[in-house]
Structure 1
Amino acid sequence: MSGTEVTVHVNRGAADELEAESDALETSESFTLLLQGHETPAHVHCRLGGDLERIAALGEANYYVEPDGVTAVPVTVTADALDRPVDGHLEVLTGYGSESLSVAVTVTPGPPDVDIDESLAEPARSEPEPTALERTIGQFTGASGLEPATLVVLALGLVAVGVAALTAATIGSPVATAGTGVVVIGVLVALFLLVQ
């Protein structure tokens, strides 16, 4: 039962007298009617009226209220399917119906249900810390906009072109120079295919 309550004083000051602390209640959940007894005991009848009858229910209809005692009357409200407020009243009667009072009750739609995905129960997977080599490659990649694999092919291609040029310069023959050209063309083709 929720913490929402409405209190009605029974037989305070005179027999068969009812007095509500509030004449209206607005809620989106179940609530409790507290029947506060005073000088003499009383039989109290409770009922729901208006559209409130469709969405709420009383535990019982008849209650015996002890002098100086409090009788709790649970009022169960089902507001899950509401899309607009529902108005009604809670009526309290005593003295075989000779005395009655009514508390206006407005039930508002509750907060919407939140669907929780089961994946939220799984622990988050953290990314592993990058190695020094990955951080270095990442710096070049971020600056140039090239993929790490492209940078590796470019570095190896430069080494191959350097070795071919050094060999051609050392040997000095036209065949070595042609070999250097083949290496340069191969590196350019490989870079072209990686960049696309």
Structure 2
Amino acid sequence: MSGTEVTVHVNRRAADALEVATDALETSESFALHLTGHETPAHVHCRLDGDLERIASVDGSNHYVEPDAVTAVPVTVDTDAVDAPVDGRLEVLTGYGSESVSIAVTVVPGPPGVDVDERLAEPRRPDPDPTPLERILDRVSAVSGLDAGALAVLALGVVAVGIAAVTTATIGGPVATAGIAVVVAGLLVALFLLVR
């Protein structure tokens, strides 16, 4: 039940007297009717009227109100059924209907519901600590402006040129020299494509 409420004073100045604290209520949720007893006990009848009775219900229609006590009567509103303002009245009667008060009630649509992704309920796993190689790549990419992928290609290219140079020095000859030239050309083309 929400914090919204309506108060009706019963038998405050005379027997079978009803006094309402406010004659209108606008709400987007269920609310409570507080029947505040005063001088003598009373039987009070509550009912809904107008379009309000199709979306709301009163918890019990007849209530016994003790002197100097508050009887809370929940008024449940089906908020899912409200897509436009709904007007009606909450009527409170006593003295076998000889005294009555009417409270104008307007139920307005509430704020739209929020869909919550189920993944929000799962605890987030912390990111693992970066490896030393990842830290080095991050620092070099920050300084050079190249991303980690380009740096990895550059490192592999340097290793390939080193292997080609060692092979050329070991074997010798024009074929080995042509092989190192192809590896260097491939590295330059790869770097050109990554940087542009």
Query: TM-score scaled by structure 1?
Result: 0.84
Aligned counterparts of 2:30 and 2:117: Cα–Cα separation in 1: 28
Alignment gaps of 5+ in structure 1: none
Shift of 1:2: 2.1
Write out per-residue CA displacement over residues 103-122 of structure 1, whole angstroms, 9 at most, x where no aligned residue: 11111212222222222222
Write out per-residue CA displacement over residues 105-141 of structure 1, whole angstroms, 9 at most, x where no aligned residue: 1112122222222222222233322222222223334
Q: Residue 126 of structure 2 corresponds to which residue in structure 1?
A: 126
Q: Residue 184 of structure 1 corresponds to which residue in structure 2?
A: 181
Aligned residues: 190
Aligned to 2:173, the other structure's residue is in SS state helix
Aligned to 1:80, the other structure's residue is in SS state helix
Indicate conservation of the 8 Å contact 2:161/2:183, yes or no: no
Aligned counterparts of 1:34 and 1:19: Cα–Cα separation in 2: 12
RMSD: 2.5
Aligned counterparts of 2:157 and 2:183: Cα–Cα separation in 1: 11
Residue of structure 2 aligned with 1:147, choices 135, 147, 150: 150
Aligned counterparts of 2:7 and 2:113: Cα–Cα separation in 1: 30
Q: Residue 42 of structure 1 corresponds to which residue in structure 2?
A: 42
Indicate conservation of the 8 Å contact 1:153/1:191, yes or no: no
Identity %: 58
Find the structure with the greater CA-based Rg: 1
Amino acid at match of 1:182: G
Amino acid at match of 1:49: D
Aligned to 1:179, the other structure's residue is in SS state helix
Change (3 A) 1:154 1:33: same
Query: TM-score scaled by structure 2?
Result: 0.84
